[in-house]
Amino acid sequence: MTDVRPTVSVDGPAVSHAGNPLSVLFQSDQGGHEQVVLCQDRESGLKAVIALHSTALGPALGGTRFHAYASDEEAVLDALNLARGMSYKNALAGLDHGGGKAVIIGDPASTEQGGIKSEELLLAYGRFVASLGGRYVTACDVGTYVADMDVVARENRWTTGRSPENGGAGDSSVLTAFGVFQGMRASAQHLWGTPTLRGRRVGVAGVGKVGHHLVAHLVEDGADVVITDVRSESIDRVRTTYPQVTVADSTSALITGELDVYAPCALGGALDDVSVPALTAKVVCGAANNQLAHPGVEKDLADRGVLYAPDYVVNAGGVIQVADELHGFDFDRAKAKATKIYDTTLAIFDRAQSEGIPPAEAADRIAEQRMAEARGH
């Protein structure tokens, strides 16, 4: 439990947290959820919720979030909403997996640091994952790390996001960045008729694990790259390798400067009522989860003529990687699958154009279609 961050982030599209858990569980518009398991282990203090939205395409796959929720209802709602998002993400990633998510309720710090995370608790959680017999495959998420998954995996065969020493794939940011780059190439193809960023000015906001790998792809492709980050170490690391990359003082300076492409690679909510009207870029394509701050932003982008590559589609490299772990991780095989993000993104833009809808909506429709076909209707 020594890692400081999860190496896999597998959120699907942003979803509403409103409503009461039972009405979300059985809501008819999305077909509801298949199964929700409430787990308690008194000895270790584990309280967890495992939500399976859909197994239409295969075992439900999604990470374990460890968070001190304000109430148990909030935890159940979060699990339900995140599980539903994973159904969409996995469907569009071309995976034979449905959507699921687990949340563990409590402070994710270790017991020595005043939280509740202990080996005993993670093992108890692993036994609950085992009890589902493979209907749910877990991974890291906010508050859980590779070292935690190594412990959870001791109790079942359905835990991914493990360390390479324990049969896992390790850091997912390499394939996540590669997938985002494929989405960006598809955006260039759709807008400019050529699948390259050569000669385009691309702004990357956040050059952490994913962002710095993305810069490498862009520089190699011949793009003119400008970056920003709140941490000077992150900027220095990029500039040491790529001195030709320029630096903007802030995200707002980045997006209001002349850009062809904006790549949000820091936090969620990057596209809101302030940033969207200020964008100079014609394309938004980045790794950050849940970029659209609220419903309706996708329409504002479309109205401004900005092509938006849906975040949960282009950042699926991480979930593609963890899914591959189940078969004995093979980097080349996972990379080949992540390459398909190019075709998927193009198909989404084509559908959006032909149906006169924003790409985010087209992505949802394609995912829903794949799930409905798998259910046989």
Q: What's the closest the beta carbon of residue 74 comes to ligand NAD, in angstroms?
A: 20
Burial class (CB in 10 A: 0-12, 13-18, 19+), 112: exposed
Q: What's the closest the beta carbon of residue 65 comes to ligand NAD, in angstroms?
A: 12
Token code pair at residue 30: 């999305």
Q: What's the closest the beta carbon of residue 175 comes to ligand NAD, in angstroms?
A: 7
Is there binding between residue 228 and ligand NAD (CB under 6 A)?
A: yes
Is there binding between residue 173 and ligand NAD (CB under 6 A)?
A: yes
Segment contacting ligand NAD by CB under 6 A, of 113-121, 218-226, 275-283, 284-292 = 284-292
Neighbours of 137 (CB within 10 A): 26
Is there binding between residue 176 and ligand NAD (CB under 6 A)?
A: yes
Given 54, 251, 344, 345, the residue binding ligand NAD (CB under 6 A):
251
Is there binding between residue 309 and ligand NAD (CB under 6 A)?
A: no
CA nearest to 174, candidates 43, 279, 298, 324: 324
Cβ closer to ligand NAD: 135 or 201? 201
Catalytic residue flag (residue 299): no
CA nearest to 15, candidates 264, 268, 285: 268
Is there binding between residue 90 and ligand NAD (CB under 6 A)?
A: no
What radius of gyration, in Å, describes the C-alpha atoms of the chain?
20
Burial class (CB in 10 A: 0-12, 13-18, 19+), 291: buried
Name the one residue in this structure whose structure tokens are 């398909």: 340
Is 126 annotated in a binding site? The answer is no
Given 55, 163, 182, 315, the residue binding ligand NAD (CB under 6 A):
315
Helix (H) or strand (E) holding 18: none
Give 202's strand partners. 225, 261
Given 267, 293, 347, 374, the residue binding ligand NAD (CB under 6 A):
267
CB 97 within 8 A of CB 136: no
Helix pair angle (173-192, 317-325), 10° resolution: 140
Is there binding between residue 266 and ligand NAD (CB under 6 A)?
A: yes
Is 207 annotated in a binding site? The answer is yes
User: From CA 333, how far away is CA 373, in angstroms rounded?
Assistant: 25
The b/e string for 314-327 (b: 16+ C-beta within 10 A; e otherwise) is: bbbbbbbbbbbbbe
Given 229, 298, 324, 325, the residue binding ligand NAD (CB under 6 A):
229
Beta strand pairing status for 224-228 and 35-41? unpaired
Given 61, 79, 95, 210, the residue binding ligand NAD (CB under 6 A):
210
Is there binding between residue 144 and ligand NAD (CB under 6 A)?
A: no
Is 210 annotated in a binding site? The answer is yes
Binding mask 10-49 for ligand NAD (x = CB under 6 A): ----------------------------------------
CB 321 within 8 A of CB 8: yes
Is there binding between residue 168 and ligand NAD (CB under 6 A)?
A: no
CA nearest to 141, candidates 29, 49, 64, 36: 64
* Cα 274 versus chain centre, distance: 24
Is there binding between residue 225 and ligand NAD (CB under 6 A)?
A: no
The interface with ligand NAD within residues 319-338 (CB under 6 A) comprises none
Segment contacting ligand NAD by CB under 6 A, of 240-248, 261-269, 296-304, 335-343 = 261-269
Q: Pick the catalytic residue from 47, 101, 117, 282.
A: 101
User: From CA 250, how far away is CA 205, in angstroms rounded?
Assistant: 8
Annotated binding site: 206-211
Binding-site positions for NAD(+) read 206-211
Binding interface with ligand NAD (CB under 6 A): 8-9, 172-173, 176, 205-211, 228-231, 234, 251, 265-268, 287-289, 315, 318
